[in-house]
């Protein structure tokens, strides 16, 4: 699936996304943001911000930047930001695989339902590592295949449906992290259906030490 098709699919879905996918995914995304344990002044990047469902949940004492490839999605997010008066949040239309931020720009990078919904997950993960400071956090909320034969069979059945909206179901966490500087600090299954994983990684690039947040 190429980038233009991804953008077109998600822009077409923007108007109904909250009603269809928002309800399915929102509980997990909300839980992820609520449990971030942020500190005042923390710089947070949300990759694939979509319609901005989670944006009102971020405390006002942090700085949040949201990016998305879909202009239609961002329009919904901008309206949400304006409606809630979220002055600590900035939104940009941007390709997650080629971000326009400097190295080490953020303390925390959050990506919900992103790595299995992009044409080249490796480019996106590499960019997330680049823009996250050494010792910072990279948090992925996603479905990862786990080698279970029964689940794998189900995934193969639903995969063509998922591909229509940009998701792939055959990507494992080990494959995503292989060869990167990311160290898994926390991993837990989240709702709905315990099908998604919240994976919090420490960015150990440049030999940075691991510190508790």
Q: Which domain holds residue 86?
A: 3-203
Residue 208 lies in a domain: no
The pLDDT, as a whole number, for residue 200 is: 92
* Band (152; pLDDT cuts 50, 70, 90): low
Residue 212 lies in a domain: no
Residue 211 lies in a domain: no
**DSSP annotation of 21:** I
Torsion over CA: 115, 204, 186, 28 (sign):
negative
Which tens digits make up the pLDDT trace of 76-88?
Answer: 899 999 999 999 9
Q: What is the pTM of this model?
A: 0.79
What is the four-CA torsion angle of 177, 179, 180, 185, rounded to 10 degrees? Answer: 50
User: For the chain, what is the mean pLDDT?
Assistant: 81
Least confident segment among 13-22, 29-38, 48-57: 13-22
The pLDDT, as a whole number, for residue 161 is: 52
Q: Say yes or no to pLDDT of 212 above 50.
A: no
What sections of the chain are H helices per DSSP?
Answer: 3-17, 23-34, 71-84, 121-131, 149-164, 173-177
* CATH classification of the domain holding 19: 3.40.50.150
Residue 139 lies in a domain: yes
Nearest to 24 by CA among 39, 13, 35: 13
Report the distance separating Cα 165 and Cα 184, nearest Å.
28
Only one residue has tokens 């108007």, namely 15
Number of domains in the chain: 1
Residue 118 lies in a domain: yes
Report the distance separating Cα 45 and Cα 49, nearest Å.
9
Residue 112 lies in a domain: yes
Contacts of residue 189, defined as CB under 8 A and 6 or more positions apart, other chains included, come to 195, 196, 197, 198
The pLDDT, as a whole number, for residue 196 is: 74
Report the distance separating Cα 74 and Cα 69, nearest Å.
8
Residue 83 lies in a domain: yes
Q: Say yes or no to pLDDT of 211 above 60.
A: no
Residue 63 lies in a domain: yes
């Amino acid at each position: 699936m190429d980038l233009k098709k991804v953008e077109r699919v998600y822009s077409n879905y923007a108007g109904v996304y909250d009603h269809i996918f928002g309800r399915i995914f929102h509980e997990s995304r909300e839980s992820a943001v609520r449990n971030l344990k942020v500190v005042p002044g923390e710089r947070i990047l949300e990759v694939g911000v979509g319609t901005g469902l989670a944006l009102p949940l971020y405390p006002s004492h942090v700085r949040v930047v949201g990016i998305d490839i879909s202009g239609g999605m961002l329009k919904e997010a901008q309206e949400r930001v304006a409606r809630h008066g979220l002055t600590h949040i900035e939104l940009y239309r941007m390709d997650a695989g080629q971000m326009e931020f400097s190295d080490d720009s953020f303390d925390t990078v959050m990506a919900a339902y992103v790595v299995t919904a992009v044409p080249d997950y490796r480019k996106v993960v590499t960019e997330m590592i680049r823009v996250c400071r050494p010792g910072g956090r990279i948090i992925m909320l996603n479905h990862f295949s786990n080698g279970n034969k029964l689940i794998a069979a189900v995934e193969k059945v639903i995969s063509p449906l998922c591909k229509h909206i940009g998701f792939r179901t055959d990507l494992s966490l080990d494959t995503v992290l292989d060869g990167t500087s990311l160290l898994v600090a926390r991993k837990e299954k989240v709702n709905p259906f315990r099908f998604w994983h919240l994976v919090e990684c420490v960015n150990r690039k440049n030999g940075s030490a691991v510190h508790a947040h």
